[in-house]
Structure 1
Amino acid sequence: MGNMDISLKEMMAIDGAVGAAVVDYNSGMALGVVGGSKDLDLQVAAAGNTEVVRAKMRTMESLGIKDGIEDILITLTNQYHLIRPVSGRGGKGLFLYLALDRNRANLALARHNLRGTEEKLEI
């Protein structure tokens, strides 16, 4: 089993996870997905969230902010969507995307676990 498959399984093991993806934000393509539902098309979510990541990076550049993005949180009525750019050498241009059921998820623990997954990911 490849490292990406292991990472996707780890992401889905996070309490409340409903879908996970590893996404290339240069192309908007999901390199791997697991989970999702008829209401959560992970391919569409990957492409749409690519625009979120790109917009934030452009804004930070315009403002002269040199910090890296740790994660981006989108809070919906019934879900949390976490976007975590991969910072390791082999992961430049990638981000982890995790959709959580808001009623079942512990956001702080999910962020902690996602950071651990990101640190171990090798592409």
Structure 2
Amino acid sequence: MNVVRSEGRTFPTHRCLVPASEFRHRSFSFSLANGDWFYFAGVWRPAIEDWPEAYAILTIEANADLAPFHDRQMAVLTRDQRLAWLDGLLPEAEILRSLPAGTFRVKRHSIDPVQATLAV
């Protein structure tokens, strides 16, 4: 999996969704405040020659909830946005946008999962 900046780009084909319930950055996890699942907006590439199928998650400027932790975030789509993304019903600039402040619940973990893995 890769991440790709979305600003200024169009993705007329090969759109995909990556379902998720949370994502992490260092010792923090982020989930929707309403507890619902969401999707990362992505694009995929078919297998070619010796390279298998692959996908990338698109990134956007971080919303107000995530900005204290990082300047970018993966493009999160809510359930009601998923078909608009897959079917190309809205221009990229309209759908690949930061969600409003208060959308994400931020949870601090007592230990950074990466550091915990390194300590083993």
Instruction: Report if TM-score (shorter chain) is over 0.5.
Output: no
TM-score, normalised via structure 1 length: 0.31
Greater share of residues in helix: 1
Give the number of the structure whose alpha-carbon radius of gyration is greater: 2
